[in-house]
A = this chain, B = another copy of it.
Amino acid sequence: MDKVSGHSLALRDLSRIRDTWRHLAGGAGKFGDEKLAVTLSQRQIDHLHRVLGDCVAEVGGEVTARQRAAQIGELYLSLDDAGKRDVLHLIVSEFGPQPGGVDAAIRAWQQASGAGPRREAEAALRRALASPRTRILTQFNALPDGVRFLVEMRADVLRLLSTHGELAILDAELEALLSSWFDVGFLTLHRLTWNSPAALLEKLIAYEAVHEIRSWADLRKRLDADRRCYAFFHPRMPDEPLIFVEVALTRAMAGNVQSLLDEAREPLDPARADTAIFYSISNTQKGLRGVSFGNFLIKRVVAALKQDYPRLKTFATLSPIPGFGRWLARRLEEEGDALLGSQERAALREVSGSGRLPALRSVLALEGWAQRADAAAALQAPLMRLCAHYLAHEQEQGWPLDPVARFHLGNGARIERLNWLADTAPKGMAQAAGMMVNYLYELEEIEANLEAYARRRAVATASGFRRLLRRPR
Protein backbone atom coordinates (compact mmCIF):
# COMPACT_ATOMS: atom_id res chain seq x y z
CA MET A 1 0.00 0.00 0.00
CA ASP A 2 1.71 3.13 -1.20
CA LYS A 3 1.06 6.36 0.54
CA VAL A 4 0.36 9.02 -2.01
CA SER A 5 2.64 11.93 -1.35
CA GLY A 6 1.45 15.46 -0.99
CA HIS A 7 -1.41 16.52 1.22
CA SER A 8 -4.89 17.90 0.93
CA LEU A 9 -3.99 20.25 -1.86
CA ALA A 10 -2.42 19.53 -5.19
CA LEU A 11 0.79 21.43 -5.80
CA ARG A 12 -0.59 23.43 -8.63
CA ASP A 13 -3.21 24.84 -6.29
CA LEU A 14 -0.60 26.05 -3.88
CA SER A 15 1.28 27.75 -6.65
CA ARG A 16 -1.69 30.01 -7.17
CA ILE A 17 -1.49 31.22 -3.63
CA ARG A 18 1.28 33.69 -4.13
CA ASP A 19 -0.62 35.32 -6.99
CA THR A 20 -3.71 35.68 -4.89
CA TRP A 21 -1.63 37.17 -2.18
CA ARG A 22 -0.15 39.68 -4.57
CA HIS A 23 -3.69 40.56 -5.43
CA LEU A 24 -4.69 40.79 -1.79
CA ALA A 25 -1.66 42.82 -0.85
CA GLY A 26 -2.54 45.19 -3.67
CA GLY A 27 -0.11 47.76 -4.95
CA ALA A 28 2.28 47.27 -2.07
CA GLY A 29 4.35 44.78 -4.04
CA LYS A 30 7.20 44.71 -1.55
CA PHE A 31 7.30 41.13 -0.38
CA GLY A 32 9.01 37.90 -0.87
CA ASP A 33 10.15 35.88 2.07
CA GLU A 34 10.42 38.92 4.31
CA LYS A 35 7.40 39.92 6.40
CA LEU A 36 5.19 42.83 5.46
CA ALA A 37 6.05 45.63 7.86
CA VAL A 38 2.76 47.50 7.55
CA THR A 39 -0.79 46.89 8.63
CA LEU A 40 -3.21 45.91 5.89
CA SER A 41 -5.04 48.69 4.11
CA GLN A 42 -8.79 48.98 4.56
CA ARG A 43 -9.25 47.87 0.96
CA GLN A 44 -7.22 44.75 1.67
CA ILE A 45 -9.16 44.02 4.82
CA ASP A 46 -12.43 44.39 2.95
CA HIS A 47 -11.21 41.95 0.34
CA LEU A 48 -10.12 39.51 3.01
CA HIS A 49 -13.51 39.87 4.70
CA ARG A 50 -15.22 38.77 1.49
CA VAL A 51 -12.87 35.83 0.96
CA LEU A 52 -13.35 34.60 4.52
CA GLY A 53 -17.08 34.94 4.05
CA ASP A 54 -16.83 32.68 0.99
CA CYS A 55 -14.87 30.17 3.09
CA VAL A 56 -17.57 30.05 5.72
CA ALA A 57 -20.35 29.76 3.14
CA GLU A 58 -18.31 27.16 1.26
CA VAL A 59 -19.02 28.96 -1.98
CA GLY A 60 -17.88 26.66 -4.76
CA GLY A 61 -17.86 23.63 -2.49
CA GLU A 62 -15.76 22.29 0.35
CA VAL A 63 -12.63 21.64 -1.67
CA THR A 64 -12.57 25.15 -3.07
CA ALA A 65 -13.30 26.65 0.32
CA ARG A 66 -10.27 24.90 1.76
CA GLN A 67 -8.05 26.05 -1.07
CA ARG A 68 -9.15 29.57 -0.35
CA ALA A 69 -8.45 29.12 3.36
CA ALA A 70 -5.00 27.83 2.53
CA GLN A 71 -4.33 30.97 0.54
CA ILE A 72 -5.32 33.13 3.47
CA GLY A 73 -3.08 31.01 5.67
CA GLU A 74 -0.16 31.71 3.37
CA LEU A 75 -0.98 35.39 3.49
CA TYR A 76 -1.13 35.29 7.27
CA LEU A 77 2.30 33.68 7.46
CA SER A 78 3.86 36.51 5.53
CA LEU A 79 2.58 39.22 7.85
CA ASP A 80 4.25 40.83 10.83
CA ASP A 81 2.50 41.08 14.21
CA ALA A 82 0.53 44.16 13.26
CA GLY A 83 -0.80 42.50 10.12
CA LYS A 84 -1.52 39.26 11.96
CA ARG A 85 -3.47 41.14 14.59
CA ASP A 86 -5.58 42.71 11.82
CA VAL A 87 -6.43 39.29 10.40
CA LEU A 88 -7.18 37.80 13.82
CA HIS A 89 -9.28 40.79 14.77
CA LEU A 90 -11.29 40.43 11.58
CA ILE A 91 -12.00 36.79 12.36
CA VAL A 92 -12.97 37.60 15.94
CA SER A 93 -15.23 40.52 15.17
CA GLU A 94 -16.96 39.41 11.98
CA PHE A 95 -17.27 35.65 12.23
CA GLY A 96 -19.08 34.97 15.46
CA PRO A 97 -22.41 33.17 15.54
CA GLN A 98 -25.55 35.03 14.34
CA PRO A 99 -26.96 36.82 17.43
CA GLY A 100 -30.47 36.52 16.04
CA GLY A 101 -30.09 32.78 15.71
CA VAL A 102 -28.76 32.49 19.23
CA ASP A 103 -31.62 34.56 20.60
CA ALA A 104 -34.19 32.42 18.82
CA ALA A 105 -32.57 29.24 20.15
CA ILE A 106 -32.57 30.74 23.62
CA ARG A 107 -36.29 31.42 23.43
CA ALA A 108 -36.92 27.85 22.31
CA TRP A 109 -34.81 26.59 25.20
CA GLN A 110 -36.72 28.69 27.68
CA GLN A 111 -40.06 27.48 26.38
CA ALA A 112 -39.17 23.78 26.15
CA SER A 113 -40.58 21.53 28.82
CA GLY A 114 -40.06 17.83 29.32
CA ALA A 115 -36.80 15.92 28.86
CA GLY A 116 -37.17 15.34 25.11
CA PRO A 117 -37.95 18.91 24.11
CA ARG A 118 -35.26 20.18 26.48
CA ARG A 119 -32.67 18.04 24.73
CA GLU A 120 -33.87 19.21 21.34
CA ALA A 121 -33.56 22.79 22.49
CA GLU A 122 -30.11 22.06 23.92
CA ALA A 123 -28.91 20.66 20.59
CA ALA A 124 -30.41 23.59 18.69
CA LEU A 125 -28.81 26.14 21.00
CA ARG A 126 -25.44 24.43 20.55
CA ARG A 127 -25.88 24.54 16.78
CA ALA A 128 -26.76 28.22 16.92
CA LEU A 129 -23.60 28.90 18.91
CA ALA A 130 -21.37 26.98 16.50
CA SER A 131 -18.92 29.57 15.41
CA PRO A 132 -17.87 30.39 11.85
CA ARG A 133 -14.52 31.21 13.43
CA THR A 134 -13.94 27.54 14.23
CA ARG A 135 -14.98 26.59 10.72
CA ILE A 136 -12.33 28.94 9.35
CA LEU A 137 -9.71 27.53 11.72
CA THR A 138 -10.60 24.00 10.66
CA GLN A 139 -10.25 24.90 7.00
CA PHE A 140 -6.65 25.96 7.64
CA ASN A 141 -5.98 22.26 8.11
CA ALA A 142 -5.87 22.15 4.31
CA LEU A 143 -2.42 23.73 4.45
CA PRO A 144 0.31 21.15 3.92
CA ASP A 145 1.39 21.89 7.46
CA GLY A 146 -2.01 22.89 8.73
CA VAL A 147 -1.80 21.51 12.24
CA ARG A 148 1.49 23.20 12.90
CA PHE A 149 0.03 26.38 11.42
CA LEU A 150 -2.74 26.40 14.02
CA VAL A 151 -0.35 25.65 16.87
CA GLU A 152 1.71 28.63 15.79
CA MET A 153 -1.34 30.82 15.30
CA ARG A 154 -2.35 29.98 18.87
CA ALA A 155 1.13 31.04 20.02
CA ASP A 156 0.59 34.32 18.14
CA VAL A 157 -2.77 34.80 19.82
CA LEU A 158 -1.30 34.13 23.27
CA ARG A 159 1.50 36.60 22.60
CA LEU A 160 -0.89 39.31 21.38
CA LEU A 161 -3.52 38.67 24.04
CA SER A 162 -2.11 41.01 26.70
CA THR A 163 -2.41 43.99 24.39
CA HIS A 164 -5.42 42.81 22.38
CA GLY A 165 -7.88 41.40 24.86
CA GLU A 166 -10.55 40.91 22.19
CA LEU A 167 -8.62 37.85 20.94
CA ALA A 168 -9.62 35.92 24.09
CA ILE A 169 -12.58 34.30 22.39
CA LEU A 170 -10.42 33.14 19.48
CA ASP A 171 -7.96 31.74 22.00
CA ALA A 172 -10.76 29.78 23.61
CA GLU A 173 -11.90 28.38 20.27
CA LEU A 174 -8.35 27.52 19.26
CA GLU A 175 -7.73 25.81 22.59
CA ALA A 176 -10.92 23.77 22.18
CA LEU A 177 -9.99 22.74 18.64
CA LEU A 178 -6.40 21.85 19.53
CA SER A 179 -7.51 19.97 22.65
CA SER A 180 -9.68 17.81 20.44
CA TRP A 181 -7.02 17.26 17.78
CA PHE A 182 -4.20 16.69 20.26
CA ASP A 183 -6.22 14.31 22.37
CA VAL A 184 -3.67 12.04 23.99
CA GLY A 185 -5.23 9.10 22.18
CA PHE A 186 -3.80 10.45 18.93
CA LEU A 187 -0.28 10.93 20.21
CA THR A 188 2.39 8.29 19.72
CA LEU A 189 5.21 7.70 22.15
CA HIS A 190 8.64 7.32 20.61
CA ARG A 191 11.97 6.64 22.13
CA LEU A 192 14.68 8.98 20.90
CA THR A 193 18.18 7.57 20.61
CA TRP A 194 21.51 8.42 19.08
CA ASN A 195 20.10 6.71 15.98
CA SER A 196 17.31 9.27 15.67
CA PRO A 197 17.57 11.89 12.91
CA ALA A 198 20.06 14.64 13.70
CA ALA A 199 17.42 17.22 12.73
CA LEU A 200 15.20 15.87 15.49
CA LEU A 201 17.91 15.60 18.13
CA GLU A 202 18.86 19.19 17.39
CA LYS A 203 15.42 20.16 18.64
CA LEU A 204 16.06 18.52 22.00
CA ILE A 205 19.03 20.85 22.37
CA ALA A 206 16.82 23.81 21.51
CA TYR A 207 13.84 22.82 23.65
CA GLU A 208 15.46 21.41 26.79
CA ALA A 209 14.07 23.70 29.48
CA VAL A 210 15.42 22.25 32.75
CA HIS A 211 19.11 21.39 32.41
CA GLU A 212 20.61 23.00 29.31
CA ILE A 213 22.21 20.63 26.79
CA ARG A 214 25.62 22.16 26.25
CA SER A 215 26.85 20.38 23.11
CA TRP A 216 26.38 17.38 20.85
CA ALA A 217 28.76 15.49 23.13
CA ASP A 218 26.54 16.30 26.12
CA LEU A 219 23.47 15.21 24.11
CA ARG A 220 25.13 11.97 23.18
CA LYS A 221 25.79 11.15 26.82
CA ARG A 222 22.12 11.79 27.59
CA LEU A 223 21.26 9.08 25.03
CA ASP A 224 23.85 6.63 26.32
CA ALA A 225 23.18 2.99 27.21
CA ASP A 226 21.87 3.87 30.69
CA ARG A 227 19.83 6.86 29.59
CA ARG A 228 16.41 7.05 27.98
CA CYS A 229 14.57 9.82 26.23
CA TYR A 230 10.90 9.56 25.25
CA ALA A 231 8.66 12.02 23.46
CA PHE A 232 5.06 12.34 22.35
CA PHE A 233 4.43 13.08 18.67
CA HIS A 234 1.34 13.97 16.67
CA PRO A 235 0.85 12.20 13.32
CA ARG A 236 0.55 15.50 11.47
CA MET A 237 3.68 16.99 13.11
CA PRO A 238 6.06 14.03 12.89
CA ASP A 239 9.20 16.17 13.14
CA GLU A 240 8.17 17.95 16.32
CA PRO A 241 8.42 16.37 19.77
CA LEU A 242 5.51 17.86 21.75
CA ILE A 243 6.91 17.01 25.16
CA PHE A 244 9.89 14.92 26.13
CA VAL A 245 11.32 13.37 29.24
CA GLU A 246 14.91 12.38 29.99
CA VAL A 247 15.47 9.38 32.22
CA ALA A 248 18.57 7.99 33.93
CA LEU A 249 18.75 4.31 34.81
CA THR A 250 20.71 4.03 38.04
CA ARG A 251 21.42 1.91 41.05
CA ALA A 252 19.64 3.63 43.97
CA MET A 253 17.90 6.96 43.78
CA ALA A 254 20.04 9.80 42.40
CA GLY A 255 20.35 12.78 44.68
CA ASN A 256 22.55 14.99 42.58
CA VAL A 257 22.27 16.25 39.06
CA GLN A 258 25.97 16.99 38.58
CA SER A 259 26.88 13.32 38.61
CA LEU A 260 23.92 12.42 36.39
CA LEU A 261 25.11 14.84 33.72
CA ASP A 262 28.83 14.23 34.13
CA GLU A 263 30.16 13.73 30.60
CA ALA A 264 33.05 11.61 31.83
CA ARG A 265 30.72 9.10 33.49
CA GLU A 266 30.93 5.42 32.46
CA PRO A 267 27.49 4.09 31.49
CA LEU A 268 25.87 1.44 33.69
CA ASP A 269 24.66 -1.82 32.17
CA PRO A 270 20.94 -1.00 32.08
CA ALA A 271 20.02 -4.57 32.98
CA ARG A 272 21.66 -3.94 36.36
CA ALA A 273 19.70 -0.79 37.14
CA ASP A 274 17.02 -0.84 39.82
CA THR A 275 15.90 2.77 39.56
CA ALA A 276 14.65 5.10 36.84
CA ILE A 277 15.18 8.79 37.52
CA PHE A 278 13.08 11.26 35.50
CA TYR A 279 15.41 14.22 35.63
CA SER A 280 13.98 16.55 32.98
CA ILE A 281 10.56 17.09 31.39
CA SER A 282 10.14 19.79 28.75
CA ASN A 283 7.06 21.03 26.96
CA THR A 284 7.99 22.40 23.56
CA GLN A 285 4.94 24.09 22.01
CA LYS A 286 3.71 27.40 23.42
CA GLY A 287 0.65 27.09 21.23
CA LEU A 288 -0.49 24.00 23.12
CA ARG A 289 -0.83 25.72 26.49
CA GLY A 290 -3.66 24.11 28.43
CA VAL A 291 -3.50 20.92 26.34
CA SER A 292 -1.84 18.70 28.90
CA PHE A 293 -0.21 15.37 28.33
CA GLY A 294 2.67 15.39 30.82
CA ASN A 295 0.95 12.99 33.21
CA PHE A 296 0.18 10.54 30.41
CA LEU A 297 3.80 10.73 29.30
CA ILE A 298 5.20 9.74 32.69
CA LYS A 299 2.84 6.83 33.08
CA ARG A 300 3.42 5.46 29.62
CA VAL A 301 7.19 5.75 30.05
CA VAL A 302 7.01 3.91 33.36
CA ALA A 303 5.06 1.15 31.65
CA ALA A 304 7.52 0.96 28.74
CA LEU A 305 10.52 0.85 31.08
CA LYS A 306 9.00 -1.86 33.26
CA GLN A 307 8.37 -3.97 30.20
CA ASP A 308 11.98 -3.62 28.97
CA TYR A 309 13.62 -3.89 32.41
CA PRO A 310 11.53 -5.92 34.83
CA ARG A 311 14.19 -5.40 37.52
CA LEU A 312 13.41 -1.70 37.81
CA LYS A 313 11.76 -1.17 41.18
CA THR A 314 11.91 2.56 41.80
CA PHE A 315 10.51 5.29 39.56
CA ALA A 316 11.30 8.74 40.80
CA THR A 317 12.13 12.22 39.62
CA LEU A 318 15.04 14.47 40.46
CA SER A 319 13.26 17.78 40.25
CA PRO A 320 14.02 21.46 40.66
CA ILE A 321 12.17 23.53 43.25
CA PRO A 322 11.69 26.66 41.17
CA GLY A 323 9.69 28.74 43.68
CA PHE A 324 11.66 28.22 46.90
CA GLY A 325 14.22 31.00 46.36
CA ARG A 326 11.58 33.65 45.81
CA TRP A 327 9.48 32.44 48.72
CA LEU A 328 12.46 32.36 51.08
CA ALA A 329 13.53 35.87 50.11
CA ARG A 330 10.05 37.14 50.97
CA ARG A 331 10.03 35.33 54.29
CA LEU A 332 13.50 36.58 55.16
CA GLU A 333 12.42 40.10 54.34
CA GLU A 334 9.50 39.78 56.72
CA GLU A 335 10.86 37.67 59.52
CA GLY A 336 14.65 37.57 59.36
CA ASP A 337 16.25 35.19 61.81
CA ALA A 338 12.94 34.54 63.50
CA LEU A 339 12.73 31.73 60.98
CA LEU A 340 15.50 29.88 62.81
CA GLY A 341 15.83 27.76 65.91
CA SER A 342 18.36 28.93 68.46
CA GLN A 343 21.03 26.34 67.67
CA GLU A 344 20.63 27.09 64.00
CA ARG A 345 21.04 30.78 64.62
CA ALA A 346 24.13 30.27 66.75
CA ALA A 347 25.78 28.10 64.15
CA LEU A 348 25.14 30.64 61.41
CA ARG A 349 26.42 33.48 63.60
CA GLU A 350 29.69 31.66 63.96
CA VAL A 351 30.11 31.86 60.18
CA SER A 352 28.75 35.32 59.56
CA GLY A 353 30.25 37.06 62.58
CA SER A 354 28.09 39.64 64.33
CA GLY A 355 26.63 42.18 61.96
CA ARG A 356 23.52 44.15 61.48
CA LEU A 357 22.05 41.79 58.93
CA PRO A 358 20.22 38.61 60.01
CA ALA A 359 22.64 35.70 60.20
CA LEU A 360 20.81 33.54 57.61
CA ARG A 361 20.81 36.35 55.09
CA SER A 362 24.48 37.13 55.71
CA VAL A 363 25.64 33.59 55.18
CA LEU A 364 23.50 33.15 52.06
CA ALA A 365 25.06 36.34 50.74
CA LEU A 366 28.58 34.92 51.05
CA GLU A 367 30.11 34.47 47.62
CA GLY A 368 30.35 30.76 46.88
CA TRP A 369 29.02 29.54 50.23
CA ALA A 370 28.38 26.15 48.73
CA GLN A 371 32.09 25.60 48.42
CA ARG A 372 32.80 26.75 52.01
CA ALA A 373 32.48 23.83 54.36
CA ASP A 374 31.51 25.88 57.47
CA ALA A 375 28.91 27.97 55.66
CA ALA A 376 27.37 25.00 53.91
CA ALA A 377 27.26 23.00 57.16
CA ALA A 378 25.55 25.81 59.07
CA LEU A 379 23.00 26.38 56.32
CA GLN A 380 22.02 22.79 55.69
CA ALA A 381 19.65 22.19 58.61
CA PRO A 382 17.65 25.43 58.43
CA LEU A 383 17.42 25.52 54.64
CA MET A 384 16.32 21.93 54.33
CA ARG A 385 13.73 22.42 57.05
CA LEU A 386 12.38 25.55 55.44
CA CYS A 387 12.35 24.01 51.98
CA ALA A 388 10.53 20.91 53.23
CA HIS A 389 7.96 23.19 54.80
CA TYR A 390 7.65 25.14 51.57
CA LEU A 391 7.06 21.99 49.54
CA ALA A 392 4.66 20.30 51.92
CA HIS A 393 2.66 23.14 53.39
CA GLU A 394 2.82 26.34 51.36
CA GLN A 395 -0.29 26.70 49.24
CA GLU A 396 -2.02 29.01 46.84
CA GLN A 397 -5.77 28.70 46.59
CA GLY A 398 -5.52 25.40 48.37
CA TRP A 399 -2.99 23.82 46.04
CA PRO A 400 0.79 23.54 46.48
CA LEU A 401 2.60 26.79 45.77
CA ASP A 402 5.52 25.17 43.95
CA PRO A 403 4.50 24.46 40.32
CA VAL A 404 6.62 21.32 39.94
CA ALA A 405 5.26 19.94 43.22
CA ARG A 406 1.75 20.69 41.98
CA PHE A 407 2.37 18.72 38.79
CA HIS A 408 3.80 15.58 40.39
CA LEU A 409 1.49 15.49 43.42
CA GLY A 410 -1.47 16.00 41.11
CA ASN A 411 -0.12 13.05 39.20
CA GLY A 412 -0.08 10.68 42.18
CA ALA A 413 3.56 10.91 43.27
CA ARG A 414 4.78 11.47 46.81
CA ILE A 415 7.57 13.73 48.06
CA GLU A 416 10.32 11.28 48.80
CA ARG A 417 13.57 13.03 49.61
CA LEU A 418 15.13 16.47 49.68
CA ASN A 419 18.73 16.59 48.45
CA TRP A 420 21.39 18.97 49.70
CA LEU A 421 23.82 20.52 47.15
CA ALA A 422 22.10 18.64 44.39
CA ASP A 423 22.36 21.28 41.67
CA THR A 424 25.17 23.76 42.20
CA ALA A 425 24.86 25.40 38.78
CA PRO A 426 23.96 29.12 39.03
CA LYS A 427 20.32 28.50 38.12
CA GLY A 428 19.97 25.76 40.73
CA MET A 429 21.61 27.92 43.41
CA ALA A 430 19.32 30.82 42.63
CA GLN A 431 16.13 28.78 42.49
CA ALA A 432 16.55 26.66 45.59
CA ALA A 433 19.96 27.20 47.20
CA GLY A 434 21.18 24.13 45.29
CA MET A 435 18.55 21.76 46.64
CA MET A 436 16.52 19.33 44.51
CA VAL A 437 13.73 16.97 45.41
CA ASN A 438 12.81 13.40 44.48
CA TYR A 439 9.17 12.70 43.78
CA LEU A 440 8.48 8.99 43.95
CA TYR A 441 5.97 7.19 41.71
CA GLU A 442 5.09 4.18 43.86
CA LEU A 443 2.85 2.27 41.50
CA GLU A 444 0.78 0.66 44.24
CA GLU A 445 0.10 4.00 45.87
CA ILE A 446 -0.61 6.30 42.96
CA GLU A 447 -4.36 5.96 42.94
CA ALA A 448 -4.69 6.35 46.69
CA ASN A 449 -2.44 9.40 46.59
CA LEU A 450 -4.51 10.90 43.81
CA GLU A 451 -7.74 10.33 45.69
CA ALA A 452 -6.41 11.85 48.90
CA TYR A 453 -4.91 14.76 47.03
CA ALA A 454 -8.02 15.43 44.95
CA ARG A 455 -10.49 15.12 47.81
CA ARG A 456 -8.55 16.35 50.84
CA ARG A 457 -5.54 18.03 49.17
CA ALA A 458 -3.42 15.70 51.24
CA VAL A 459 0.24 15.84 50.25
CA ALA A 460 1.86 12.40 50.26
CA THR A 461 5.32 12.38 51.85
CA ALA A 462 7.90 9.81 52.89
CA SER A 463 8.68 9.41 56.55
CA GLY A 464 12.31 10.45 56.02
CA PHE A 465 11.12 13.65 54.42
CA ARG A 466 8.61 14.31 57.19
CA ARG A 467 11.44 14.26 59.75
CA LEU A 468 12.77 17.44 58.11
CA LEU A 469 9.57 19.17 59.17
CA ARG A 470 10.23 18.88 62.91
CA ARG A 471 10.57 22.06 64.95
CA PRO A 472 14.02 23.57 64.69
CA ARG A 473 16.56 23.30 67.41
Contacts and interface: CB of A to CB of B under 8 A. Distances in A.
A125 B129 contact: yes
A186 B183 CA distance: 13
A63 interface: yes
A15 B275 CA distance: 25
A359 B109 CA distance: 58
Interface stretch (A18-26, A76-84, A187-195, A332-340): A187-195
Contacts of A12: 303
Nearest to A181: B180
A129 B146 CA distance: 28
Contact of A64 (B59, B127, B202, B447): B447
| Copy count, this protein chain | 4
A183 B134 CA distance: 13
B295 A61 contact: yes
Interface string A89-110: 0001100110100100010011
A166 B142 CA distance: 36
Given A129-B125, A129-B126, A185-B236, A62 B194 contact: no
Contact of A295 (B63, B92, B122, B220): B63
A329 interface: no
A357 interface: no
B197 A7 contact: no
Nearest to A184: B8
Contacts of A185: 7-8, 141-142, 146-147, 236
A11 B299 CA distance: 12
A295 B67 CA distance: 13
A8 B300 contact: yes
Interface stretch (A113-121, A257-265, A373-381, A388-396): A113-121
A195 B193 contact: no
A304 B3 CA distance: 11
A166 B203 CA distance: 50
A165 B114 CA distance: 14
A213 to B, nearest CB: 12
Given A10-B299, A61-B450, 15 more contacts: A1-B193, A1-B196, A1-B197, A3-B189, A4-B190, A10-B300, A64-B447, A119-B168, A122-B129, A122-B169, A123-B169, A126-B131, A129-B129, A142-B184, A146-B185
Interface of A: 1-4, 6-8, 10-12, 59-64, 66, 92-93, 96-97, 99, 102, 106, 109-110, 115-116, 118-120, 122-123, 125-127, 129, 131, 138, 141-142, 146-147, 165-166, 168-169, 172, 177, 180-181, 183-186, 188-202, 216, 220, 230, 235-236, 292, 295-296, 299-300, 303-304, 410-412, 447, 450-451, 454
